[in-house]
Amino acid sequence: MKKLAFTLFTLLALSACKDEVGTQDWCEAMDQTPKTKWNAQTAVDYAKHCVILNPVGSDAWCNQLENKPKADWSTNDAASYAKHCIF
């Protein structure tokens, strides 16, 4: 039972280390990844977050969100702002 709990905890902890989709670090990592290893969703996410919009957590993204009324922020916007722009 302890092994199972430890294994689940380890997998959860390791998955938390992965870059969040749309962040500056994720965009940079995708730039280094061969396009042949991308799937369709990865290509869509890259185009949306790294080409069309500013990457989450970038200075431009933080400034853009600061100018947006707080009532218009989504839950994800608020969490990403706190994680990438404040801390």
Tens-place pLDDT, residues 5-54: 445 455 444 445 678 899 999 999 999 999 999 999 999 999 999 999 89
7 part of a folded domain:
no
Higher pLDDT, 70 or 87: 70
Check whether 71 has a pLDDT greater than 90.
Answer: yes
10 part of a folded domain:
no
Domains of the chain: total: 1
For 65, the token pair is: 């969100």
CA-CA distance, 32 to 3, in Å (whole number)? 36
64 Cβ contact partners less than 8 Å away, ≥ 6 residues apart: 54
Q: Residue 1's pLDDT is what?
A: 63
Check whether 87 has a pLDDT greater than 70.
Answer: yes
Structural domain boundaries enclosing 26: 19-86
68 part of a folded domain:
yes
The structure tokens 């009324």 sit at 69
- Nearest of 67, 26, 68, 29 to residue 49 by alpha carbon: 26
Residues 54-70 pLDDT 10s: 999 899 999 999 999 99
Higher pLDDT, 9 or 3: 3
80 part of a folded domain:
yes
For residue 22, count CB atoms less than 10 angstroms from its CB and return exposed for 0-12, middle for 13-18, buried for 19 or more. buried
